[in-house]
Amino acid sequence: MESGKPTPPVSPVLVILLGILAVSTASIFIRFAQAEAHSLVIAASRLTIASLILAPITLPRHGGVIRSLTARETSLGVLSGLFLAIHFATWITSLAYTSVTSSIVLVQTMPLWVAIMAPIFLREPIGRRVVTGLALALAGGLIVSLADSCQLAAGSLDCRGWAELVRGDAFIGNLLALAGAISGGAYLIIGKSLRLKLPTLPYIFIVYGVAALALLAAMVAYGYSPLGYSPVIYVWFVLLALVPQLLGHSSFNWALGYLPAAVVSITFLGEPIGTIILAAVLLNERPSMVKLTGAFLILAGIYISSRQPAGKRGSRRKPGDTTKE
């Protein structure tokens, strides 16, 4: 822990572990909600409920900060929220086509896409470790994608043909999950400068609110309604907003006040592991060794990539930069 930081009331490590468990439930809750609700309805409900819960907490404390935003800062907040809406819409939709394991592992390549976009939009160079991690993660992503359409039998890889692989639902789901990773990366890149100027709570409220409005508009445009579902479906909606969205992400945001941002970001890599375990226990979805191998490569690639930029920034970080994020 960095010197000069306030003493936390509880261990940040314990809070982070709680956050990992919370966000790992997202894919499971979504799968249950998809029994009746369309993916757009699920995504819109998740962000809308979370925004409504944040409103009475944020506006009385940070209303003045939000009103004082410049036109450029407001535009960045809106754009960041739109990419977050795309992130949730594509990722949640992917769970209707591919397995929980494939979806969550592929969407976790988001830090790698941030590494690709950072030199272009933030003028942050990419080191050799980032390139190495990217190569590992892309190889792992290919293995995960093939695992849904290929089987390892008698020591050889048996695929059902490239045409079927490209047309298959699993392939569509994997592409959607990858789109979720890229849009999530764009959301982080665009929002980085804004987050340095805003406390975490008003930033989250703005971005979640914009994402909720965008998803509600898409839901209506495609002719879906949030009404008429079984009571248990609304329970899943509320749980999605409370557990992975607010409890999970709020735990990580709180930990940023006591730990370096790089340390907290690496802990996000625990989500696929938790999700795979929950999918095996609750959905009886047993990942194959091929898929687990691809998952390991992706996680290894993200870990290697996320370490290098943090090390370079650490020597140049200005006092207080970590707590602003």
How do residues 293-304 score in pLDDT, each as one tens digit?
877 887 787 677
Question: Mean of the pLDDT values across residues 132-136?
Answer: 78
Average pLDDT, the chain: 78
Question: Mean of the pLDDT values across residues 280-284?
Answer: 75
Residue 211 has pLDDT above 70, yes or no: yes
**Lowest mean pLDDT, pick from 87-96, 155-164, 310-319:** 310-319
Percentage of the chain exceeding pLDDT 90: 28
Angle between helices 289-314 and 270-282 (to 10 degrees): 150
CA dist., res. 206 & res. 201, Å (int)? 9
Cβ 82 vs Cβ 214: under 8 Å: yes
Residue 77 has pLDDT above 60, yes or no: yes
Burial class (CB in 10 A: 0-12, 13-18, 19+), 311: exposed
- Please tell me the predicted confidence (pLDDT) of residue 205: 94
Question: Mean of the pLDDT values across residues 106-111?
Answer: 78
Burial class (CB in 10 A: 0-12, 13-18, 19+), 80: buried
Other Cβ atoms within 10 Å of 227 Cβ, number:
7
Classified as helix, coil or strand, 138 is helix
Interior angle at CA 147, CA 143 and CA 152, nearest 5? 105
**Lowest mean pLDDT, pick from 8-17, 23-32, 216-225:** 8-17
- Please tell me the predicted confidence (pLDDT) of residue 321: 43
Cβ 105 vs Cβ 298: under 8 Å: yes
Residue 228 has pLDDT above 50, yes or no: yes
Residue 60 has pLDDT above 90, yes or no: yes
Alpha helices, DSSP H, located in 198-269: 200-221, 231-240, 249-255, 261-267
- Please tell me the predicted confidence (pLDDT) of residue 26: 85
For residue 140 the two structure tokens come to: 């792992």
Question: Mean of the pLDDT values across residues 51-64?
Answer: 95
Residue 45: closest CA among 228, 186, 185, 251: 228
pLDDT in tens, 149-202: 566 555 565 655 444 445 577 888 889 989 998 998 888 777 777 776 788 789
Residue 312 has pLDDT above 80, yes or no: no
Question: Mean of the pLDDT values across residues 284-310?
Answer: 72
- Please tell me the predicted confidence (pLDDT) of residue 158: 60
* Alpha carbon distances (Å) from 309 to 226, 261, 276: 42, 11, 28
Question: Mean of the pLDDT values across residues 243-268?
Answer: 68
pTM here is 0.75
Cβ 22 vs Cβ 248: under 8 Å: yes
- Please tell me the predicted confidence (pLDDT) of residue 248: 84
- Please tell me the predicted confidence (pLDDT) of residue 78: 94
CA dist., res. 170 & res. 188, Å (int)? 27
φ and ψ at residue 24, rounded to 5 degrees: -70, -15
CA dist., res. 47 & res. 31, Å (int)? 17
Question: Mean of the pLDDT values across residues 89-100?
Answer: 84
